[in-house]
Amino acid sequence: MGRIIVAGSINMDVVARVKAHPQLGETVFGTDLQFIPGGKGSNQAIAASRLTDGVLLAGMLGVDAFGDTLMTFLQGENLDLRHVGRVDTAPTGTALIAVSDASENTIIVVPGSNAHLQPADVSKIPIDPDDVVVSVFEIPQETIRALFARAHDVGAKTVLNPAPANPFIPSLLALTDYLIVNETELAFFADGASVTDNLADIKVNARNLRSSESQTIIVTLGDKGAVGFEGDAMIHVAGHTVNAVDTTGAGDCFVGALSVALSEGRNLKAALEFANSAAALSVQKLGASTSMPYRID
């Protein structure tokens, strides 16, 4: 079994709970405020590290109070942090998150130091053929492309969660073995198609997005589960009925858990079921990285 290598963002999540999200121009009172370690890269790495050993996180923090707090937090997790750096030219990445009583969230991400993770910073990460290399669009795409190219050179699997959705730079999509998107991101990459949870429409959009027949597209559907497209097969796993408290980190939990399942050699259906169950557990707690379940759960 190989390692999980995650190159991605590390943020401080500033989370405000509100009864309902404000309309444009409206001010509302919050009912709670918390500072919670987050960032899609950090979340995905922690999700994986609570399910397996040997997870490596590569990222960039600022030289500031948030950076110090996040490094201390990460040191308490089961992570290899030798490729987490610090820069004094940008603040630590920050996400401003509002969570309503209906457990719906809106997020504004200020990349800060995450934008300073460069190809040179990931050039020395050791990659073996059995490893699973994971990344996300909260760091520069050029850095992801450089890392994925090295992964492909040795035959390692690559997993990309292209969020926030932005156009792909040349050759990055082709270097991606497993592309994981939600319904909104799929619509963006399908040239502005309507957001839908209709499986027939999702199938068309996913197949149009696929860069090769060997590429696997996975679409997360929230409480409706997830669907994967591998070769000619479409595999749908249903969602779990749970009492959701906060869905902020559910997608990241799914990515981390799926990567673990792939590293263990599970087939796509089993990997989807494992990731879906982990994500369902995560939404029952407040916070992103702090809500990631352990295997014992």
Q: How far apart are CA 22 and CA 3, in angstroms?
A: 43
| Closest to 112 in 3D by CA, of 10, 206, 189, 185 | 10
Helix axes 40-49, 250-263, angle to 10 degrees: 50
Give the integer Cα–Cα distance in Å for 233 and 250.
25
Residue 252 appears among annotated catalytic residues: yes
177-161-48 Cα angle (round to 5): 90
Catalytic residue, chosen from 101, 197, 252, 297, is 252
Give the phi and the psi of residue 212 in degrees, each rounded to 5: -160, 165
Token digits of residue 141: 């795409």
Residue 50 near residue 292 (C-beta atoms within 8 A)? yes
Q: Looking at the annotation, which residues are catalytic?
A: 252
